[in-house]
Amino acid sequence: EAAVTQSPRSKVAVTGGKVTLSCHQTNNHDYMYWYRQDTGHGLRLIHYSYVADSTEKGDIPDGYKASRPSQENFSLILELASLSQTAVYFCASSDKLGGRAETLYFGSGTRLTVL
Amino acid sequence: QQQVRQSPQSLTVWEGETAILNCSYEDSTFDYFPWYWQFPRESPALLIAIRPVSNKKEDGRFTIFFNKREKKLSLHITDSQPGDSATYFCAASVGTNAYKVIFGKGTHLHVLP
């Protein structure tokens, strides 16, 4: 079965600190995504990647960086964490059909609290 | 603008009734529309999906109706069950950027026994 593993499951960070969220998939998928979930906003796309060593900006990339060093791993980096970045973060991978993203398989999420 | 809009924000139905969740979009390049559901404290998971070549997709009690001309679609859940209580997200795969997937804000469905 498809597997997307996120770490850590939860984290408390201080304002101005650096935070790295990690994601590992064993699906052999080319596409990977980072979404942020907040009450009332649904799932908002932060960064995504369609191939290793390349990332793309999503709809809300400000304050976030992404890194895709290999097909299996995709990290989200908050260089200077802020209170407004408190949220649940989901990583996902996707298979593709004809070059198009198909089903997204989500990790369990990381609950980030910035104090 | 690339957006997916959902309504209502929250919906309550009685067990056995049909729940209707709505979704609309503006960008005509959207060409794949999956619906995901998410139970409390869990991750979203694919429920059902449709492509614009079809105007209807059915899977058991769940049916998507698609109106390409009006850029609207709806998810009908017949014979609703308390176990269907979840948040439902309409999503879209962007045709001009086929690996970009965006989501609506979701509809919270409550099915009362």
> Closest Cα of chain A to B71: distance in Å?
20
Provide the residue type at B13 as one letter. Answer: V
> Closest Cα of chain A to B30: distance in Å?
11
> Peptide bond preceding A69: is omega within 30 degrees of 0, i.e. cis?
no
> Closest Cα of chain A to B80: distance in Å?
23
- Whether B43 and A33 lie within 8 Å, measured CB to CB: no
Residue B98's pLDDT band, with cuts at 50, 70 and 90, is: low
Residue A44's pLDDT band, with cuts at 50, 70 and 90, is: very high
pLDDT at B95 over 70: no
Residues β-bridged to residue B13? B111
Residues β-bridged to residue A19? A78
Give A54-95 pLDDT, tens digit per residue. 999 999 999 999 999 999 999 999 999 999 999 999 999 998
What pLDDT shows up at residue A15? 97
CB pairs under 8 A between A and B: 65
Chain A hits for B101, CB-CB cut-off 8 Å, are 33, 45, 48, 94, 101, 104
CA separation for the pair B91, A45 (Å, rounded) = 11
Residues β-bridged to residue B86? B109
> Closest Cα of chain A to B94: distance in Å?
9
Quick check: A90 contacting B, CB < 8 Å? yes
B50 touches B66 (CB < 8 A): yes
User: Best interface-test mutation with B: which of A43, A59, A106 has the largest number of B CBs within 10 A?
Assistant: A43
CA separation for the pair A32, A71 (Å, rounded) = 9
Average pLDDT over residues A90-102: 81
pLDDT at B86 over 60: yes
pLDDT at B97 over 80: no
Q: What is the DSSP letter of B9?
A: S
A52 touches A69 (CB < 8 A): yes
Provide the residue type at A39 as one letter. Answer: T
What residue of B is the nearest CA neighbor of A39?
Answer: B105
- Whether A101 and B99 lie within 8 Å, measured CB to CB: yes
Residue A96's pLDDT band, with cuts at 50, 70 and 90, is: confident
Give B63-77 pLDDT, tens digit per residue. 999 999 999 999 999
What residue of B is the nearest CA neighbor of A49?
Answer: B99
Q: In 3D, which of A83, A108, A76, A92 has the Cα closest to residue A10?
A: A108
